[in-house]
Structure 1
Amino acid sequence: MRSKSTRTVIGLATAAGLVTAVSIGIAGGASAASGTSEGTMITQPPQGARATVEVTPNPTTQRGQEVTITGSCGGGTGLKSVLGGFPEHPALENIRIVDAGPDRFVAKATVARHIGNGVGPVFVDCGGEAGVTLLVTHV
């Protein structure tokens, strides 16, 4: 029988994998023109999913470590919120938006004290555009 923390890490890794697969499918999917055998690469994600996000340092090494979330809103109005993990299992705490600018945003947060080794999503809402990346923890 697996421990609760092992099941949680596996669950988060599975969820993050699904988020990544969907993001890759949206951002880099190929489509073929009707009646042709050649595909064309989509060069930009669809509207609503154009924000970019990066977490530094990533991977993190300590519970309670401060991380910086940066990115661009990809046409959105500015950074509205950041969610690390899932609402019922947050991976980030004390999230503070430092600069909500639409061209370049900055936020700070701390890795939750209950987080162990694993992978989880970090989502941003940029007022009309959203983005996601993965946060890896080695604590």
Structure 2
Amino acid sequence: MIKKVVTAIAGLTLTAGLVGSVSVPAGAQAGAATGTATGDAVQVAAPKPPKGARAVVQVSPNPTAKRGQEVTITGHCGGGTGLKAVIAGIDRERPVLENVRIIRDDPKGFLAKGTLSSRIGNGVGPVFVDCGGEAGVTLLVTHV
């Protein structure tokens, strides 16, 4: 499972480099870009993430402020079968979140809760979700 999540996250990272907007001078040809023109800029529609990396995840509150604070993990599975797992951090021996509980595994809107580890410090760590065929990631910022 971890290998599939890491592979999907690599795809998300590559896709993230493609997402954004492009500025085109007024009167310039935008080529095949589609979007809406506002003044002298063209907003380019974000490409759809690759298959296997279409789940969407949010963590609230983010940034977190206290060790031991409970956080809520929400999102949707982007075509996956339902929330199977939440993995926070990269090192299994020092997880960012502990006591992660899946409350609702609905692929159209999942809900999980977890507690910020008492061993974490200031920093940024990934929160991955496995949605049965689709994966997603977000970053959790900690200020302790």
| Superposition RMSD in Å | 2.2
2:76 pairs with 1:72:
yes
- Residue ranges of structure 2 left out of the alignment (5+ in a row): 1-8, 20-29, 34-44
- Residue ranges of structure 1 left out of the alignment (5+ in a row): 1-18, 31-36
Which residue number corresponds to residue 26 of structure 1? 15
Q: CA deviation at 1:88?
A: 2.9
Q: CA deviation at 1:89?
A: 2.2
Q: Which has the larger radius of gyration?
A: 2
Match of 1:138 among 118, 139, 143: 143
Which residue number corresponds to residue 85 of structure 1? 89
Q: TM-score, normalised by structure 2?
A: 0.72
Bigger share in helix: 1
Match of 1:47 among 43, 46, 51: 51
Q: In the alignment, residue 85 of structure 1 is paired with which amino acid?
A: G
List structure 1 segments (4+ residues) > 6 angstroms apart after TM superposition: none
The answer on whether the counterparts of 2:57 and 2:74 sit within 8 Å (CA) in structure 1 is yes
Q: CA deviation at 1:61?
A: 0.3
Instruction: Report the identity percentage.
Output: 62
How many residues are aligned here? 114
Q: CA deviation at 1:116?
A: 0.7
Cα distance, 1:64–1:76 mapped onto 2, change above 3 Å = same
Match of 2:122 among 117, 121, 128: 117
The answer on whether the counterparts of 1:28 and 1:42 sit within 8 Å (CA) in structure 2 is no
The answer on whether the counterparts of 2:70 and 2:115 sit within 8 Å (CA) in structure 1 is yes
Instruction: Tell me how far apart the structure 2 counterparts of residues 71 and 59 of structure 1 sit (CA, whole Å).
Output: 17
